[in-house]
């Protein structure tokens, strides 16, 4: 039996980055907000204290902070001719769980997308002609421009205290920053982090080759910072336990270190953890969300009525929740109609491993999730694609995220994969090997989509989400090109041996790449091809907003969090300053 609770103004599904941002913005103007989170409450000192946060076995190998596949998983196949099977152990991406969500375990690489990324379809057709886009590619414009989003990027960066060097200040190109970035209205809140030897050497080589390297913008702070909410973060200690881990030093920007200390003091905010939303409820006409139904850890079922429903779960779970709730038309790849599940995309990464003589000591343990020197000459449309036969790109760089003992074991090609020979090679190369990376975008395609699996169900009897995805020629060509470029710079660092690993072949869901799954509830200005308007408001159910990378029509060549958060700030602004004054659709279709 489901028991009905007293209504609230807004219910938030998932208390990660965007849930926290929206909860803060809405409670600040007096709304009563209830956040419902599937995972546990998590706080710095109690859940990842410095005394044991740096436990690679617990957090990286055994996935302590992540969702358990037995709790919820999805099925996967490369194409529609295959039968999808359930993912029983996380591989290529890591679905977060618990308060803080992905913001707890991210590397804090805090990028803005390029202005042209937001109109990727129009931009590429304008420059290269319509025939340049391959058959089946379904990239589209976002319905929002960089200029419109800039104030919200700024909000998130100042919330986090992001450390970086501006490359474009109000249109003026600044030395030392990224000259390709869109104009930013002011400097980063804190200066860039210090760079260790590897990125320094990479930057030197890049400059000699005519590139313009710059420090990667980082949410692991170079110095103590108190944000506009009054919450203080500490300086990063370069311990290198960022991605997969919570930060025990209060130095990685996360909901815990930037927003939650404020939210927990607000009497009009409530978080219900270890509670799983089963579905979003609709009125009989299906035009209005009436709230959510959730199940607590006791197995008891509750209905939480609300005036506003904010779906702030991880990308895949946003898609799943809408399909389960019957909101929006499910995508049908054979007709290319419908929107929920449409334009699923990912991130195309690759790497180059370089092995140096013993005079070059890289000290990989001096690291942080986002220190590094990057080159943006091969991102987006920063370079001429005319003769290359693909669109898009990514940043390339020397990003020193970690030197952790269990898995930071670079060995040259030809090394035995286990035993004494492997051990000898790990020992020989630990200090003298260096990995450079590419972080490429991913276009969307008609045959890459999400729907409900016909066979497998979860613990509540709901159909699992099915991922149908493979890499396309455009992305593989891009990865080859980017990998060659980063390899050229890396070679100029003077290694004895250099091994290139461009992304090749089929997408493999068992090998970790990134957690940047995107799309499925995309934003846009046409309800035929998007589920959300530019304010992340559902075209079909105007009192429902859906945040997260699920709104990306395709992915750019950057880490997504800054854009995810900026869109959430923009949505919050629209809710507070437009929707609450006049509830209803904010954009007329």
Partner 1 sequence: MRKIALSLLLLISGGSAYAETDGQSFDQIARGRQLAIAGDCAACHTASGGRPYAGGRPLETPFGTLLAPNLTPDRETGIGAWTDDEFVRAVREGVGPRHNLYPAMPYPYYTKMSRADVLAIRDYLATLDPVSNKVVANQLPFPYSIRWNMSVWNALFFTPGEFAAKPEKSQEWNRGAYLVDGPAHCGACHTSKNILGADETGSALKGGVLQGWYAPNIINDSRDGLGSWSVDDIVTYLATGRNQMSAATGPMAEVVVDQTSQMSREDLRAIAIYLKGEGGDSASQTVPVPANDPAMQIGQAVYADQCTACHGLKGDGIPGLVPTLRGNAAVQSPDVTSLRRILTDGARSVATDAAPTGAAMPAFGWKLNGEQMAAVLTYIRNSWGNAAAPVSQP
Residue closer to partner 1, measured from CB, 221 or 572: 221
Round to whole Å and give the CA distance between 372 and 375: 10
Residue closer to partner 1, measured from CB, 158 or 395: 158
* # chain residues binding partner 1, by CB under 8 A: 24
Nearest-approach distance from CB 39 to partner 1, in angstroms: 21
Burial of 173 (0-12, 13-18, 19+ CB in 10 A): middle
Q: Which string of DSSP letters, residue by residue, matches 340-384?
A: BTEEEE--EEEEEEEE--TT----TTSB-TT-EEEE-TTSTTSS-
Query: Which of these, 54, 157, 165, 181, lies nearest to 108 by C-alpha position?
Result: 157
The question of whether 516 is a catalytic residue gets the answer yes
Choices 151-159, 232-240, 337-345, 501-509 (CB under 8 A): range interacting with partner 1: 232-240
Q: Which string of DSSP letters, residue by residue, matches 303-314?
A: EEEEEEEEE-S-
Question: Considering the rule CB under 8 A, would residue 45 count as an interface residue with partner 1?
Answer: yes
Residue closer to partner 1, measured from CB, 134 or 235: 235
Nearest-approach distance from CB 246 to partner 1, in angstroms: 12
Q: How far from 17 is each of 35, 159, 549, CA to CA, in Å?
A: 12, 11, 12
Q: Is the separation of the CB atoms in 10 and 268 below 8 Å?
A: no
Query: Which of these, 59, 45, 43, 155, lies nearest to 100 by C-alpha position?
Result: 43
Determine how β-strand 232-233 pairs with β-strand 342-345.
unpaired
Within positions 396 to 455, which residues make up the interface with partner 1, using CB under 8 A? none
Nearest-approach distance from CB 366 to partner 1, in angstroms: 13
Who contacts 91 (Cβ-Cβ below 8 Å, separation ≥6)? 508, 509, 510, 511, 512
Q: Figure out which of the listed residues 114, 159, 233, 312 binds partner 1, where binding follows CB under 8 A.
A: 233
The CB-side HSE value for 172 (13 A sphere, CA atoms) comes to 7
Map tokens 């593989």 to a residue. 476
Tokens of 522: 């995309």
Angle (CA) 261-263-264 rounded to 5° is 70
Round to whole Å and give the CA distance between 148 and 152: 8
Residue closer to partner 1, measured from CB, 263 or 399: 263
Tokens of 438: 């590419």
Residue closer to partner 1, measured from CB, 115 or 248: 248
Question: Considering the rule CB under 8 A, would residue 28 count as an interface residue with partner 1?
Answer: no
Choices 46-54, 77-85, 316-324, 445-453 (CB under 8 A): range interacting with partner 1: 46-54
- Per-residue mark of binding to partner 1, 192-231 (x: CB under 8 A): --------------------------------x-x--xxx
Within positions 248 to 287, which residues make up the interface with partner 1, using CB under 8 A? 248-250, 261-262, 265
Within positions 51 to 70, which residues make up the interface with partner 1, using CB under 8 A? 51-52
Question: Considering the rule CB under 8 A, would residue 50 count as an interface residue with partner 1?
Answer: yes
Choices 50-58, 191-199, 393-401, 485-493 (CB under 8 A): range interacting with partner 1: 50-58
Nearest-approach distance from CB 248 to partner 1, in angstroms: 7
Of 429, 432, 481, 516, catalytic: 516
The CB-side HSE value for 508 (13 A sphere, CA atoms) comes to 8
Continuous segment of H or E residues that includes residue 28 = helix 17-28
Choices 41-49, 65-73, 164-172, 580-588 (CB under 8 A): range interacting with partner 1: 41-49
Nearest-approach distance from CB 40 to partner 1, in angstroms: 17
Q: How far from 156 is each of 217, 445, 537, CA to CA, in Å?
A: 13, 30, 20
Residue closer to partner 1, measured from CB, 226 or 457: 226
Nearest-approach distance from CB 362 to partner 1, in angstroms: 22
Nearest-approach distance from CB 575 to partner 1, in angstroms: 24
Nearest-approach distance from CB 332 to partner 1, in angstroms: 49
Residue closer to partner 1, measured from CB, 226 or 455: 226
Choices 233-241, 369-377, 531-539, 541-549 (CB under 8 A): range interacting with partner 1: 233-241
Query: Any idea which residues carry the catalytic annotation?
Result: 516
Which residues of the chain form contacts with partner 1 (CB under 8 A)? 44-46, 49-52, 224, 226, 229-235, 237, 239, 248-250, 261-262, 265
């Amino acid at each position: 039996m489901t028991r009905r609770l007293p209504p609230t103004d807004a219910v938030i599904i998932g208390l990660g980055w965007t849930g926290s941002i929206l909860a803060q913005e809405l409670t600040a103007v007096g709304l009563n907000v209830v956040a419902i989170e599937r995972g546990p409450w998590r706080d710095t000192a109690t859940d990842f204290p410095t005394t044991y946060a740096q436990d690679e076995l617990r957090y990286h190998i055994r996935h302590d902070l992540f969702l358990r596949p037995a709790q919820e998983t999805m099925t996967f196949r490369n194409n529609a001719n295959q039968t999808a099977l359930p993912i029983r152990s996380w591989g290529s991406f890591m679905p977060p769980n618990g308060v803080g969500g992905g913001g707890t375990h991210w590397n804090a690489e805090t990028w803005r997308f390029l202005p042209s990324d937001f109109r990727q379809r129009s931009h590429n057709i304008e420059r290269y002609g319509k025939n340049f886009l391959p058959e089946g590619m379904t990239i589209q414009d976002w319905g929002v421009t960089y200029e419109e989003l800039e104030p919200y990027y700024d909000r998130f960066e100042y919330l986090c205290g992001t450390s970086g060097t501006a490359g474009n200040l109000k249109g003026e190109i600044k030395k030392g920053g990224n000259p390709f970035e869109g104009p930013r209205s002011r400097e980063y809140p804190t200066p860039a982090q210090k760079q260790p030897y590897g990125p320094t050497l990479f930057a030197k080589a890049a400059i000699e080759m005519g590139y313009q390297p710059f420090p990667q913008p980082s949410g692991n702070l170079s110095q103590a910072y108190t944000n506009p909410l009054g919450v203080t973060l500490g300086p990063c200690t370069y311990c290198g336990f960022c991605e997969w881990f919570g930060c025990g030093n209060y130095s990685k920007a996360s909901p815990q270190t930037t927003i939650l200390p404020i939210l927990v003091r607000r009497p009009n905010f409530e978080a219900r953890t270890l509670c799983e939303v089963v579905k979003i409820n609709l009125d009989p006409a299906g035009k209005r969300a009436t709230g959510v139904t959730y199940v607590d850890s006791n197995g008891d079922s509750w209905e939480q009525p609300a005036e506003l429903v904010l779906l702030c779960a991880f990308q895949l779970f946003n898609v799943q929740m809408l399909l389960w709730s019957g909101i929006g038309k499910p995508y049908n790849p054979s007709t290319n109609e419908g929107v929920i599940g449409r334009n699923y995309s990912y991130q195309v990464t690759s790497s180059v491993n370089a092995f140096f003589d013993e005079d070059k000591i890289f000290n990989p343990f001096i690291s942080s999730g986002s220190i590094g020197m990057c080159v943006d000459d091969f991102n987006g449309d920063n370079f001429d694609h005319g003769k290359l036969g693909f669109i898009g790109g990514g940043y390339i760089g020397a990003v020193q995220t970690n030197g952790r003992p269990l898995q930071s074991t670079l060995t040259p090609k030809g090394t035995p994969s286990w035993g004494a020979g492997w051990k000898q090679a790990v020992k020989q190369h630990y200090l003298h090997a260096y990995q450079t990376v590419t972080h490429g975008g991913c276009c969307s395609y008609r045959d890459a989509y999400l729907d409900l699996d016909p066979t497998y169900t979860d613990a509540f009897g709901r159909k699992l989400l099915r991922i149908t995805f493979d890499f396309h020629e455009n992305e593989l060509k891009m990865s080859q090109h980017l990998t060659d470029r980063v390899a050229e710079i890396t070679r100029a660092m003077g290694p004895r041996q250099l091994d290139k690993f461009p992304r090749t072949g089929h997408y493999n869901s068992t090998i970790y790449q990134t957690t940047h799954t995107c799309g499925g509830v995309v934003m846009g200005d046409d309800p035929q091809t998007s589920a959300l308007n530019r304010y992340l408001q559902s075209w079909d159910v105007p009192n429902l907003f859906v945040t997260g990378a699920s709104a990306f029509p395709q992915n750019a060549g950057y880490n997504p969090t800054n854009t995810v958060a900026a869109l959430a700030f923009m949505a919050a602004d629209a809710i507070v300053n437009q929707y609450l004054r006049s509830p209803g659709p904010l954009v007329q279709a």
